[in-house]
Structure 1
């Protein structure tokens, strides 16, 4: 099998955790970056869920696409499934993304399952910040996750106005 692409929109941007041979800014249409997933493991608990990013329907999302050598497919897909499908709130999808150079490629990505009990849905930035503010899970404090995401997006020149407003409420 040939090389394949993985689309990252959150923590995969700054911590992909897998070998890749090319990275490109990319846009996924039809989905937006959103704090739409209740985190019971990494950034919260069942008693005090945090919020983590998911791809939710509507709009578009700019992130990074990583090209992975075909011979690493099983290893990388296994790693991604272990990382992203901890509670099965995400659905693994092959979706078209447009790379910065104009190429259109199919990429593995993980979208939020609106039927899953951890799906938080759409909310305003004040409510999201309220939930994030005091949540902590196995991977650390929820505000650190949101602020780190903003920092890394800014370093790449990627704007996410809604997430920036959530971060401003946390500052």
Structure 2
């Protein structure tokens, strides 16, 4: 399988698919018809976004996940009924695009349900040109931001620990998240 470029959404809408790789996996906040483990190629999960709203403030930014280019990511694909597609997209844009750090994209994901199906899914990829992109931080710098971060969504520490726990429940290993969680 090759890189995963943006693809157009299909004209015959069987419903909207949404790819979750962080808190959307356990707290989607929208109604869905189907929840399936899935793999997205061409991007990986990374704590690379300075959070100045949900898990930090402008003065004391926290750190949250982004889908950064390269590699692959196992997460959850959610199928939303066609009649709820617009409402779900509006909700996701409000939740994910507070500071416009993500690029909304439709990417192909491979469902891990034994069907060998792939579906186009909305995913939010980090914009490396945005001021909040923090992909070059060291582990220690990431740990500092996580320890200091506290925003509208609560302590940044809780976000990282919850991410670790939910990834483990799904059988997903993430070395970066595990290393940071062990030190919190």
Both proteins in one fold, TM over 0.5: yes
Query: For residue 83 of structure 2, what is the aligned residue in structure 1?
Result: 71
User: Distance between the aligned counterparts of 1:90 and 1:160, measured in 2?
Assistant: 21
Match of 2:63 in 1: 51
Q: Distance in 1 between matches of 2:175 and 2:35?
A: 24
Residues 4 and 73 of structure 1 are in contact (CA less than 8 Å); yes or no, is this contact kept in structure 2? yes
Q: Is the contact made by 1:126 and 1:169 (CA closer than 8 Å) also made in structure 2? A: no
In the other structure, the counterpart of 1:62 is: 74
Q: Which runs of 4+ in 1 moved over 2 A?
A: 122-127
Deviations 1:91-110 (A, max 9, x none): 10000111102211110010
Q: Which runs of 5+ in 1 are unaligned?
A: none
User: Is 1:88–2:64 an aligned residue pair?
Assistant: no
Runs (5+) with no aligned partner, structure 2: 1-12
Q: CA RMSD in A?
A: 1.0
Between Structure 1 and Structure 2, how many residues are aligned? 170
Partner of 2:38: 26
**Given the alignment of the two structures, is residue 159 of structure 1 paired with residue 173 of structure 2, yes or no?**
yes
Instruction: Give 1:157 deviation, angstroms.
Output: 1.0
Identify the residue that residue 116 of structure 1 maps to in structure 2: 130
Matches of 1:3 and 1:123 in 2, distance apart?
38
Matched-pair contact (CA < 8 Å) for 2:61–2:148: no
Per the TM alignment, residue 123 of structure 1 is displaced from its structure 2 partner at its CA by 3.0
Listed one character per residue, the Cα deviations across residues 72-116 of structure 1 (whole Å, up to 9, x for unaligned) are 111000110011111100110000111102211110010110011
User: What is the TM-score of this pair, normalised by structure 2?
Assistant: 0.89
